[in-house]
Structure 1
């Protein structure tokens, strides 16, 4: 199958990074359970761990059946699991389904042009990495740098996949904001119906944010301040607000 973007990693590498990020996240569960999560106001570490576990389990069931579960979801039984056990159970269910399928196998996603298991391999690797960062931030022991190639792919994924989940915005300005990091660029036109992303095109006077890649990714996810004053005004602020509504 074709890779979903020019920044996408081989699926085997996603699997390696997913396991790595999961192990780190899992080791943080104990000290994080009762602490507030800075990135998720109102949530404790336990809330975040349970959320992550249910995401794993839902995607496992989606891959197993080919369609997203609806009735009776999530299973009532998951409430009886302690957080660590629930996370381990749900991750094992996810990996069982990844191992039983090829990346090109068909499964429901919210991106019409990519209805494959590979979509979920990529998506869950990014999801796990961001929530690992969240738990490290929760325990305040310092955060581990993200894999450099995964960061560039993460910028692309949040703009071309996650932003696409948002609803039409009748108040959208139609402005273009340009993001530059790691020798690449993304131009995002904030149209009312949807945000349109173009990769690596020539600059033409657009409002531009330049940054190293990891801080830019974390800003897009609402996990870090923006790269400079321009990030809190005009088209950049509109982009961040639109992402916040979609994530």
Structure 2
């Protein structure tokens, strides 16, 4: 990844926070493990399907996804830039967020760093983690667990935001059914992958297969207005809508442009 710059704020009457990825040049030669997380974060931002505020609160800065803690200092998928040097292991000073050439996102003018100490492609994802009480750690994130948690929370948030009222549920019924079905199929596929690969042994390809499952998700590749063929219906199709279309601000329903 070279000289990446991403800046998103939803193009609607919805007043959203601004999240801008700052330009940087990737210099590491073997950064593929953390780069898949970075790529997924950028994909969610670029999708424009969920408000940036919801992405930040539910995924980027949420202890359910990951919770890095050292005494009174806390970090998540994102951590505030001014405290990242405090989020390191006590025995060998391994940094959880890159100390030099960090991956920086500007959130409403404040800089945050993306977690970069990510490894353990051999560890299978825990599909129950989002339903468990979050626990603080001060160690490397497990990439498969992190990827699945991000994807799962994205689907949960999107579905929740599409269903903010009876009116929204009715208007989005076909879309909701499609997304629920794709989400269920993803969970089932990951569960089968977990069973098949047992302990995700070193010579296994579980990580690569998980990346393929994520890459094949129609919702994650969509943008507002995209038409998706619904293969459960021979003549059906789905129009993807931004989930913030019916979010209320200041007591008024917001319609996306």
What TM-score, normalized by structure 1, do the two folds share? 0.29
Q: Which has the higher contact order (CA 8 A, sep 6+)?
A: 2
Q: Which has the higher helix share?
A: 1
What TM-score, normalized by structure 2, do the two folds share? 0.29
Q: Which has the higher strand share?
A: 2
